[in-house]
Every structure is written in structure tokens, then in C-alpha cells.
């Protein structure tokens, strides 16, 4: 722990954390992958060669073209550039992941904090509810929710959020249970701090490393889940470029137009891998810092 | 022995509570859906009388607690309602499609353990050396890649390009389907004494099972590696080294068993993921399991069938987790004793 207000110490632990992060070349590779994909996704309209291929129309003169200098990853059955559509697919995936985690994380964290600190009946009821969500395979639960709603982007995010918060509740519950026994919590209780103060000002700051690490890993896993839903036809509908539905559509043209399936498939692999490597690196860095 | 029995009863009780919770959750999801369930079930062409009759039959005009009670009563008698898609009882449909899915998932589970454990052991044994790097790379790719991506890659390479394995289905076309009794073709073929049929079923199973196993396999290898490394750092292993015990004996006798316990506990979770991911793999390989049925009834808003499918999968998951718990109890004497004392 660094002393607050001591810039020298703070920067020393920070550089130690950076050194721990960069010690593993895989973490650095992950960071490069993530930065590159995020940059491409943000600047998609400027960096993609055929930005107008995002919609339902393509270039019929270049139908089913194999990968070439003009079309790096080839084109689909109506002549749309696959590279362009994959970059836009990344854009959609990243937005979905950010929205899902922005909603699911606070819900899960609050449930975990309250259940872990309060104990007793509150703990029992909240954690049994959490168990129920964890007892259904995540994909099946998301599918069931989609089954009762229309398959749209909004509902897809809703379905994934509904099955995602329990994992944060479980994680933060375990951290809180351990932290609640620590001296600083007792000290805050003794001076009469409010429950809200203890939860959010005392315990929560010690949960941040676990939360941030998990969120980084989860950006990848939310993208994986969203693409799985749309692969089954239960997610984003065409013509919106989505990595999962691109794989499903392309599979109809195997093996001749293999690029239609393989490039979007590898694109999913790459982004999940990137966020996983960064998440692992972050964990090492947080451990070095503390 | 009574200790194990008591902890088993305890776990069964907890599972029952979770199962009741799941039935409430599914019921709640099915009821908060916008629109009249009876109208959705009957389709736009039904008359107002038909809709009213169905509402009466399903107690849809009663209060929610009464509706839930009716729902639980019919569940208790094993009645999951009727599918509007196949026009048969949902239990009949599930009984037809579930065995194919379970066979796929079980074979994947076996592959996960048979490949994942040795991979993790090798990684730990050669920590920081070449086999470790290869092992870690395989487990990382396994974890990061959705099952359907593995499916299409394996299918393209080993099915289409090299032609080593069939592209889709459970049996070659024209092969008679074994008469039963389990619906697991491997078992049915073996019981019928049909060797060629058994090999054919196995041949069709390998690619989908491998695609489904990759994620759990990576997770298993990862965990085995880190748990074994932890044990390797303990003083008693150092002592065993100092005594000059052979490396293989240290690995199998001292490091593997303690490392196995935390690995076993995640197998239940991996199995859950597999039951879900089976939907993806089944779509890639045209596997006639619960997936095609599940997706079809979801797209058709076939309420009873959706609820039934989810409940059956959740029940399968709970049962496997109880089995895993029991196995962990048997292997770990410490937990066995603690359960007895509690």
C-alpha cells in the first residue's frame, strides 16, 4: 500500500505494476490486439475500404470473390466486402459488451456487497436468488429470455445482462465476506459510520481490482455470448453486421466460400483472446501493486 | 457412511430449493412477456372463443400465485404441456431429442477430462519449458473460442478438406437407427452387438464432441496446471525431491491428488456450459438433438415447449452437480469429515 499524498511512492508502485504487466509478453500482445481492434472499430467509417457495404446492398459485380488485394477477406453472396463488415461487427460487439457490463456490474456488485456485509436472512435470500440464475446454463437462460421477446439488439443486451449480474454478485460476495472481518471495517463501525459509507467507501475500494480484472475478461466473454446468440439466429437481425450471424450465414456456403465462415470466426477468436490476455495481465499487475 | 448420506441429503435439499427457484424464474419470464400467452400460442388465425377456451384451460385469468400453483401441480405429475410446433406432449418431444444431446455432452465431458487433465499435468511438470507453452496456448485458445467457431474450423479442416470425418448427422445415411433402449447410439449399437454401427456412431461423434469439449478442456488444463504448481511449491514435495523420489512418482503420488479436488469442482460448471454450448455445436453439425427443437420453439414462441426445455436442461445440470459434489466428497477426506461434523 502506498501512502496517500506521496507521489514518489505512488509512481513507484505504478511503475512496478506496469513492469509486472509487461513482464509477460502475452499480456503485451493482448494489449496490442485490443488497442488495434478498438481503434479500428472507433474509426470504422474512415479506415474500412467499403463503408457503404454495411447495409443490405453490395457490389454484384464482385459476388463471392475470394480474398484478394481489393477484398482482403473476400466478399459475400451479394458482393459485400467482408473486411468492412467484420470491423463494423467489432463495433457493434464492443458497444454491446460495454452496455451489458455497465448495467450488470453495478447490480451484481451491490447485491454482493449487501449480502456479504449484512449476513443473516438478507444474505440467504439474495444468494439463493443468485444461485438460481447460476444454475441454468447461461446460454440457455439467455435463449429462453430471447424466446419471450423479439430478437432485437436491445433485447439481446437485456437477455445477456439478466444472466451476467449473478457472477459479479458471487465474486463480490466472497470478497466482502473476507473484508468485513478486517480491522478497518470494525473501526468504521465503532465510530458509527453508516452502512452505505462502510459498503461504498470502505469495502468497495478493496473490490476494485477484482471488479476491473473481471470486467476486462468479460468484455471478451460478453462478445462471445452475444455472437453465440446471434449464431443461433436469436440476436441482432440482418442486415446489421454481426460476427455471430456472419458465421452462421457463411456456413451455408462451406466449403467453397470458406472465407465467409472462417474470417468472422477468427475475428471472434481474436477479440476474445485479446481481452483475456489483457485481463490476465491486469491481474498480475494488481497483485504486484498490493 | 452416514456422514456421506447426511451431506448427500443436505445437497439434495439445496438442489430442490434451487429447482423451485428455477421454476419460479421461468414462470416469471414466461408471464412478464408482453402479449396474451393464449393468443400467441394459438396464432393470429384463432377465433376469440378458442383463445378464451385456452385461457380457461390454462387458468390464465386466475391470479399469478394460483397460476404458479397450477403450473407446479402439472410439473409434479410430469406434465410439461403440449408443444404447438409438433402438436405432441412436450415430454414426448424432449424424450426424443434429449438423448442425442446428452450423448454428445457426455462424450465431450470424457474428452475434456481425458485431454484436459494430462495437458495440465504436462504443463505443470515442464513448467516454463516448451510443453508448458504449448499446453498453455491450447488451453487459452480453448477458453477464448466459442464452441461454434471450433465447430466450423474442425468441420472445414477435418470434414471438408481432409475428409477424415463425416460433416454432419449421427449416422451414415441408410444406417438403420438402433431400436433403443437408451437413445445413446453408442450404447444401443453396443447392446445390439452391431460393431460397424458402433464405429459409425463414434466416427460421427468425434468432431462435434471435440468442438464442444475445447472450452472445458482448456479450463481444466489451466486449473490443473496452476493447482499442481501450487502443490509443487509446498515443503513436502521439496522433501520428497530431497529424498530422491523419481519425478513421475512425485507428480502422480503427491501433486496430482490434491490438485484434482479443485479441478473436479469446476467440472460441474463446465458441464453446465456444455449443455448450453451443445446448442451451438448441434447447429454446426446438424446434430438431431434438443438444439434444433429448442431454437425452433423459441422462434415460434411455443411457450410450453420453451419452459419444458429450459427446465429439463436445468434439472440435468443440477443432477450432474450433485454427482460432482459426491465425487469430491469421496476423494477429499477433509470435506468428508467436515460434513460429518456439521
Positions of chain A with pLDDT under 70: 1-10, 58-63, 65, 71, 79, 290
- What is the mean predicted confidence (pLDDT) over B270-288? 87
What are the chain B neighbours of A249 within 8 Å (beta carbons)? none
Query: What pLDDT is recorded for position A2?
Result: 43
- Would you give the DSSP letter of residue A180? T
pLDDT category, B333, cuts 50, 70, 90? low
Q: Which of A210-214, A232-236, B8-12, B272-276 has the highest mean pLDDT?
A: A210-214
Q: What is the pLDDT of residue A33?
A: 93
Q: For residue B274, give the chain A residue with the closest CA.
A: A137
- B200: closest CA of chain A, how far (Å): 23
Q: Report pLDDT for A267.
A: 92
B206-229 pLDDT per residue, tens: 899 999 999 889 988 888 888 888
Chain B residue with minimal CA distance to A146?
Answer: B298
| Half-sphere CA count of A53, side-chain side, radius 13 A | 26
The pTM assigned to this predicted structure is: 0.84
Asked if B31 and B67 count as a contact pair (C-beta separation under 8 A), the reply is yes
Cβ–Cβ of A248/B283 closer than 8 Å? yes
- Contact assignment for A255 to B161 by CB distance below 8 Å: yes
Closest to A139 in 3D by CA, of A232, A211, A246: A232
Contact list, B275 vs chain A (CB under 8 Å)? 137, 140
Q: What is the pLDDT of residues B130-171, one digit of tens each?
A: 888 888 888 888 888 888 999 998 988 888 888 788 878 777
User: DSSP string spanning A4-25?
Assistant: TT-HHHHHHHHHHHHHHHHHSH
Share of chain B above pLDDT 70, in %: 92
Contact A144/B283, CB-based, under 8 Å?
no
Map out the domains of chain A as residue ranges. Answer: 23-44+78-289
Helix (H) or strand (E) holding B105: helix B90-125
pLDDT confidence of residue B322: 80
Three-state DSSP at A60 gives helix
Q: What is the pLDDT of residue A100?
A: 93
pLDDT at B34 exceeding the cut of 80: no
Question: What is the rounded distance in angstroms from the CA atom of residue A124 to the CA atom of residue B72?
Answer: 23
Kindly list the residues from chain B whose CB atom is less than 8 angstroms away from the CB atom of residue A233.
295, 299
CA dihedral B184, A230, A56, A71 (to 10 degrees): -80
Residue of B17, B277, B310 lying closest to A136 (CB–CB): B310
Residues 6 or more apart whose Cβ sits within 8 Å of residue A61: A79
Return the pLDDT at A38. Answer: 92
Contact B280 A138 (CB under 8 A): no
- B334 pLDDT exceeds 70? no
pLDDT at A60: 66
Residues B69, B81: Cα–Cα separation, whole Å: 15
Select the more confidently predicted residue: B309 or A1. Answer: B309
Instruction: Check whether B297 has a pLDDT greater than 50.
Output: yes
Give the pLDDT score at A168.
92
Which residues on B lie below 8 Å from A144 (Cβ)? Answer: 26, 29, 298, 306, 310
Q: What is the pLDDT of residue A9?
A: 61
**Domain A23-44+78-289 maps to which CATH number in 1.10.3720.10, 3.50.30.10, 3.40.50.300, 3.30.70.1520?**
1.10.3720.10
Give the chain B residue whose CA is nearest to the CA of A127: B18
Pick the residue of A138, A143, A147, A217 with the most B CBs within 10 A to test the interface with B by mutation.
A147
CB contact under 8 A, B152 and A265: yes
**Which tens digit of pLDDT belongs to each residue from B92-108?**
888 888 988 989 999 99
- Per-residue model confidence (pLDDT) at position B253: 73
What number is the average pLDDT over the span B287-311? 84
Average per-residue pLDDT in chain B? 81
Of B153, B276, B310, the CB nearest to A138: B276
Cβ-defined contact of B22 to A136 (cutoff 8 Å): yes
Q: Is B296 exposed, middle or buried (0-12, 13-18, 19+ CB in 10 A)?
A: middle
How many C-beta atoms lie closer than 10 Å to residue B241's C-beta?
A: 14
Minimal CA separation from B273 to chain A, in Å = 6
Amino acid at each position: 500500500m502506498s501512502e496517500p499524498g506521496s507521489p514518489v511512492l505512488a509512481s513507484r508502485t505504478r511503475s512496478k505494476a506496469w513492469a509486472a504487466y509487461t513482464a509477460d509478453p502475452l499480456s503485451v500482445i493482448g494489449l496490442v490486439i485490443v488497442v488495434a481492434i478498438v481503434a479500428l472499430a472507433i474509426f470504422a467509417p474512415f479506415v474500412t475500404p467499403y463503408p457503404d457495404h454495411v447495409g443490405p446492398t453490395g457490389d454484384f459485380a464482385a459476388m463471392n470473390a475470394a480474398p484478394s488485394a481489393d477484398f482482403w477477406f473476400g466478399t459475400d453472396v451479394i458482393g459485400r466486402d467482408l473486411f468492412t463488415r467484420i470491423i463494423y461487427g467489432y463495433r457493434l460487439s464492443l458497444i454491446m459488451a460495454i452496455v451489458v457490463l455497465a448495467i450488470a456490474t453495478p447490480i451484481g456488485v451491490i447485491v454482493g456487497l449487501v449480502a456479504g456485509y449484512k449476513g443473516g436472512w438478507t444474505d440467504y435470500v439474495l444468494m439463493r436468488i443468485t444461485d438460481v440464475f447460476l444454475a441454468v446454463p447461461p446460454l440457455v437462460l439467455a435463449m429462453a429470455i430471447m424466446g419471450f421477446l423479439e430478437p432485437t439488439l436491445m433485447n439481446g443486451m437485456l437477455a445477456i445482462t439478466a444472466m451476467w449480474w449473478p457472477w459479479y454478485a458471487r465474486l463480490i460476495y466472497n470478497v466482502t465476506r473476507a473484508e468485513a472481518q478486517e480491522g478497518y471495517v470494525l473501526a468504521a463501525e465503532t465510530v458509527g459510520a453508516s452502512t452505505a459509507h462502510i459498503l461504498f467507501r470502505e469495502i468497495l475500494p478493496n473490490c476494485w481490482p477484482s471488479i476491473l480484472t473481471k470486467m476486462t475478461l468479460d468484455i471478451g466473454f460478453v462478445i462471445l455470448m452475444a455472437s453465440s446468440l446471434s449464431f443461433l439466429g436469436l440476436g441482432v437481425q440482418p442486415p446489421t453486421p454481426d460476427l455471430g450471424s456472419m458465421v452462421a450465414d457463411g456456413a451455408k456456403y462451406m466449403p467453397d466460400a470458406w472465407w465467409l465462415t472462417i474470417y468472422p470466426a477468427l475475428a471472434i477468436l481474436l477479440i476474445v483472446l485479446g481481452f483475456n490476455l489483457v485481463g490476465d495481465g491486469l491481474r498480475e499487475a494488481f497483485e504486484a501493486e498490493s | 457412511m452416514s456422514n456421506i448420506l447426511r451431506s448427500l441429503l443436505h445437497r439434495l435439499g439445496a438442489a430442490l430449493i434451487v429447482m423451485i427457484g428455477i421454476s419460479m424464474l421461468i414462470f416469471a419470464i414466461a408471464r412478464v412477456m408482453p402479449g396474451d400467452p393464449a393468443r400467441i400460442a394459438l396464432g393470429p388465425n384463432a377465433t376469440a372463443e378458442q383463445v378464451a377456451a385456452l385461457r380457461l384451460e390454462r387458468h390464465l385469468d386466475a391470479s399469478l400465485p394460483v397460476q404458479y400453483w397450477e403450473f407446479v401441480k402439472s410439473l409434479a405429475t410430469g406434465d410439461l404441456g403440449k408443444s404447438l410446433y409438433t402438436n405432441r406432449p412436450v415430454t414426448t418431444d424432449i424424450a426424443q431429442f434429449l438423448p442425442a444431446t446428452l450423448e454428445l455432452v457426455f462424450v465431450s465431458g470424457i474428452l475434456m477430462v481425458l485431454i484436459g487433465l494430462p495437458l495440465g499435468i504436462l504443463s505443470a511438470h515442464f513448467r516454463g519449458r516448451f510443453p508448458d507453452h504449448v499446453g498453455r496456448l491450447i488451453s487459452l485458445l480453448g477458453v477464448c473460442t466459442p464452441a461454434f467457431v471450433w465447430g466450423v474450423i474442425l468441420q472445414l479442416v477435418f470434414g471438408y478438406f481432409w475428409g477424415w470425418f463425416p460433416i454432419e448427422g449421427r449416422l451414415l445415411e441408410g444406417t438403420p437407427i438402433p431400436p433403443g433402449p437408451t437413445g445413446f447410439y453408442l450404447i444401443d449399437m453396443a447392446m445390439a452387438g452391431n460393431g460397424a454401427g458402433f464405429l459409425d456412431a463414434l466416427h460421427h461423434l468425434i468432431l462435434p464432441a471435440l468442438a464442444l469439449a475445447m472450452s472445458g478442456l482448456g479450463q481444466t488444463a489451466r486449473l490443473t496446471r496452476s493447482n499442481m504448481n501450487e502443490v509443487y511449491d509446498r515443503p513436502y514435495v521439496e522433501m520428497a525431491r530431497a529424498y530422491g523420489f523419481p519425478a513421475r512418482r512425485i507428480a502422480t503420488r503427491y501433486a496430482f491428488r490434491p490438485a484434482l479436488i479443485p479441478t473436479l469442482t469446476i467440472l460441474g460448471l463446465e458441464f453446465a456450459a456444455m449443455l448450453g454450448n451443445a446448442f451451438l455445436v448441434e447447429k454446426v453439425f446438424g446434430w438431431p438433438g434438443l438444439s434444433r427443437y429448442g431454437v425452433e420453439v423459441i422462434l415460434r414462441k411455443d411457450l410450453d415447449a420453451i419452459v419444458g426445455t429450459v427446465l429439463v436442461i436445468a434439472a440435468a445440470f443440477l443432477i450432474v452437480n450433485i454427482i460432482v459434489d459426491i465425487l469430491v466428497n469421496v476423494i477429499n477426506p477433509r470435506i468428508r469429515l467436515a460434513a460429518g461434523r456439521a
